Amino acid sequence: MISKELLPKHIGIIMDGNGRWAKLRGLPRQAGHKIGAKTFRKVVHYCNQIGIQYLTVYAFSTENWKRPQEEVRAIIELLREYLIDAPNHKDENVQVQFIGDLSGFDDDILKLIADCEEESCQFTGMHLNIAINYGGRDELVHAFRAMNRDIQAGKLNPETVTEATVSDYLYTKGQPDVDLIIRPSGEYRLSNFLIWQSAYAEYVFMDRILWPDFNESYIDKALEEFASRNRRFGGV
């Protein structure tokens, strides 16, 4: 086990490989997402248990709407099930926040999201960001539009804008930047995930594991790799 001093404060995980996992077993892609949802719960529990302060998981991107509608509906139904079940996990003490453009979801989903965030806002354990209908570029566009509105209203002087100012307009306002990003499934790219927040993140790509088979041991391996790296942040 890595000592708490060497743990990253903020981990991002790209939960990738559900569809391929199902295809390898001759199952519909929806089956992979269902098992992947169970993996998500295990990983959240473990990260909270070992003392990770912030965890952001990439659940549904702005590009995922292009997938077959049957698959999209299955993913949204899993989200609905998670939200309905969330009150049963109060003892985990995890504060939950949903990041992304939520405007595209049905009213019942939005109500469940609001309830989940409100009920967990006073929890003092790990802060969990669930990125749905999220894209890093879309987040920046959202931030710049909000900044422009405040400039037009005289609330913000453009000459005083700094990197910290931009961060304050992101979905992750008030949170530390990502220290470590983990991506299983053999893909070696960021896929529009936390573009601004991951400027100095360490990346751990795992090419022999798909998300439904991901478990606590892979978190440990990623943490060991993170602890072995020399993070200079542009210095020497």
pTM: 0.95
Catalytic residue among 48, 64, 213, 215: 64
Contact 94, 44 (CB under 8 A): yes
Domain assignment of residue 215, yes or no: yes
Domain assignment of residue 10, yes or no: yes
Is 64 part of the annotated catalytic residue set?
yes
Domain assignment of residue 71, yes or no: yes
Domain assignment of residue 214, yes or no: yes
The CA R_g of the chain, rounded to the nearest whole Å, is: 18
Total domain count, the chain: 1
User: Which residues does the annotation place in the binding site for substrate?
Assistant: 17-21, 29, 33, 61-63, 65, 67, 183, 189-191
Domain assignment of residue 11, yes or no: yes
Catalytic residue among 16, 129, 133, 179: 16
Torsion of CA 143, 203, 217, 121, to 10 degrees: -20
- Using DSSP's 3-state secondary structure scheme, residue 131 falls into strand
Per-residue pLDDT band for 2 (boundaries 50, 70, 90) equals: confident
Domain assignment of residue 234, yes or no: no
Domain assignment of residue 233, yes or no: no
Instruction: Report pLDDT digits (tens) over 6-56.
Output: 899 999 999 999 999 999 999 999 999 999 999 999 999 999 999 999 999
Rounded Cα–Cα distance for residues 22 and 129 (Å): 26
Instruction: Report pLDDT digits (tens) over 85-138.
Output: 999 899 999 999 999 999 989 999 999 999 999 999 999 999 999 999 999 999
CA dist 163 → 91, 113, 168 (Å)? 37, 29, 9
Q: What is the mean pLDDT of residues 71-95?
A: 94
Domain interval for residue 10 = 4-228
Would you say residue 72 has pLDDT above 70? yes
Is 168 part of the annotated catalytic residue set?
no
Q: What's at 91, amino acid-wise?
A: D
* CATH number of the structural domain spanning residue 145: 3.40.1180.10
User: Which residues does the annotation place in the binding site for Mg(2+)?
Assistant: 16, 202
